[in-house]
Structure 1
């Protein structure tokens, strides 16, 4: 009798585990993924590619909802993802630095000598340390994408030498690294949030800014200046990141889906941005803007002064931030 009871108990236990596993396999999950990038941009195309791949590979168990052109700016998106209101995001490294200060390493001027070098160091040497760092802050890194190279733009003249910044008030990204870069170059930074920048340019509160051509077009900032300098002084990567608490609760097979095809997606995103860059510069000329391109000698003059910020970062970013800078300097 006891033997039959035991056999029945074991059978029920096995069936229970089976039903539980089946229920887990059929459970649906939603990935709300936000970005400030509007429809039609390289980043919107990148995230649509990610969405398509995830939904197909998960056989519909993960539904991806994209929130393109999300209002409130990147700082808001980072915080929403941290709180779990969004489960994922596509943002710049600078935006990540608002909660993960060590990520300011990617905002340092003249950190990489070329996009090719940036690819090599980020993919082969920085991905794993950054992944481990972000986990400590409640994020799970998927991939590095690209915002592109930042250039100078101003009213009245090109910025062809550091001294050209002396008599201009330049809009600075809301980051101490960007402010210190302008100061190192002898400029006058004015920290202004993204939504307030165009009015500040139009009223003359600032006479210039630095950003990527893609962002300058998307935000219409180019309309308020008449000179563009292809200085390429900051290479700005971007990232696709998940909320770690949400990610950790997923079944193992779905976690693998979310992290799969990283190399392919990374290359696709970079290709989209880099193909557009020269076209955007041509569009600036077509819009009547004077476009100047710095030669190697001119870039060296900027780099000599701007690299003072690297040591400031080392002092302010702590051991983890200094470690990231050490990795870059070791391999470039």
Structure 2
């Protein structure tokens, strides 16, 4: 067998392996989300992109927004939601968003800092790291408004966010302490805050696009993931990474970014319907995300995945080591704003 044929067989096997739970490789993964209305007569269309699967509650919100906006607008505004990277990867879509070729995007918080440093505040460790802090951050105008306008110079506004759970470490070997973590090569996202953070923590890491992760994990190129129980469970990473260390140093977010020029040109009544619906459905999705995380952890435990909780001492050590990251990103985000967020949220 030639090397090329062998490589293709591996890729095909991995495609079957990584299909989300409940979705076969042959079936249309979005068939159950087809609208029960004909959108062809809509006066306005809002194209909303995302790279992940709507099995995640923070992504399913796109379809809930679609249906409710259609009903409330009497069919005048169609939210054309495109998950599963139908419009490209996050870096590509961010460029399309700035140009207005795409009007909206549920962008991962780790990628959003590439658009505007201000979004990086939610990636800093132990700042907005719990579900409770996240709600307080969203519902305090003095904290949320600067975040919302972080990408205003690029013509983009953040109107809300949903989530995908609490960040920790999935690994192929047990990681009970910080010292054990330093033996693992973690995949981290293509995100500037995370790169600075792992350097400060003196941990081994590989920056890697998410589509490359299954093969890298399968072949041992990496033996750990910096991610959340929800994503690791739904995308079946727990089939290989059989251990998860609950660090809870950040909340993974899908930030609802919108092209401001397009929004301003939308008739006022439709603009209000869209923004009100996004706010309501995003809040509901955040509540569901907390429940989904609990369910995914329970399911993983039942399937033999072992969970550890990093000790308070090690967590405090991670925060101490991150001091240079707070300093560097404080200058980019705004030192006074960062201090206000940390104080208000009780860091």
**1:130 equivalent in structure 2:** 147
CA contact (8 A) 1:92 1:147 kept: no
Structure 1 stretches of at least 4 aligned residues deviating more than 4 Å after TM superposition: none
Give the TM-score, by structure 2 length: 0.80
**1:12 equivalent in structure 2:** none
Structure ID, larger Rg: 1
Q: Cα deviations across residues 14-71 of structure 1 (Å, max 9, x unaligned)?
A: xxxxxxxxxxxx9811111111231332134311221122222222111121112124
**1:215 equivalent in structure 2:** 231
Aligned CA-pair RMSD: 2.2
**Count of aligned pairs:** 303
CA contact (8 A) 1:165 1:186 kept: no
Q: Distance in 2 between matches of 1:142 and 1:113?
A: 20
Q: Cα deviations across residues 74-96 of structure 1 (Å, max 9, x unaligned)?
A: 32332222222221121222222
**2:130 equivalent in structure 1:** 114
**1:241 equivalent in structure 2:** 257
Q: Which of these residues, 70, 84, 89, is aligned with residue 100 of structure 2?
A: 84
Give, in angstroms, the shift of residue 270 of structure 1.
0.6
The secondary structure found in structure 2 opposite 1:153 is: strand
Q: Cα deviations across residues 163-192 of structure 1 (Å, max 9, x unaligned)?
A: 222222211211232122222222112111
Alignment map for 1:312-323 (pairs within 5 Å): 312-315=328-331, 317=332, 320-323=333-336
Gaps of 5+ in 1: 1-25
Gaps of 5+ in 2: 1-40
CA contact (8 A) 1:39 1:68 kept: yes
The secondary structure found in structure 1 opposite 2:222 is: coil
Q: Which of these residues, 325, 336, 342, is aligned with residue 309 of structure 1?
A: 325
Q: Using a 3 Å threshold, how does the CA distance of structure 1 residues 321 and 147 change in structure 2: closer, same or farther?
A: farther
**2:62 equivalent in structure 1:** 47
The secondary structure found in structure 2 opposite 1:270 is: helix
2:101 matches 1:69: no
Q: Distance in 1 between matches of 2:253 and 2:90?
A: 14
2:248 matches 1:232: yes
Higher helix residue share: 1
Q: Which of these residues, 233, 242, 250, is aligned with residue 266 of structure 2?
A: 250
The secondary structure found in structure 1 opposite 2:221 is: coil
Give, in angstroms, the shift of residue 263 of structure 1.
4.5
Alignment map for 1:293-304 (pairs within 5 Å): 293-304=309-320
Alignment map for 1:144-293 (pairs within 5 Å): 144-158=161-175, 160-261=176-277, 263-293=279-309
Q: Distance in 2 between matches of 1:27 and 1:293?
A: 50
The secondary structure found in structure 2 opposite 1:232 is: coil
Q: Which moved more, 1:111-120 or 1:189-198?
A: 111-120
Q: Distance in 1 between matches of 2:130 and 2:82?
A: 32
The secondary structure found in structure 2 opposite 1:174 is: coil
Give the TM-score, by structure 1 length: 0.83
Q: Which moved more, 1:220-229 or 1:294-303?
A: 294-303
CA contact (8 A) 2:162 2:282 kept: yes
The secondary structure found in structure 1 opposite 2:136 is: helix
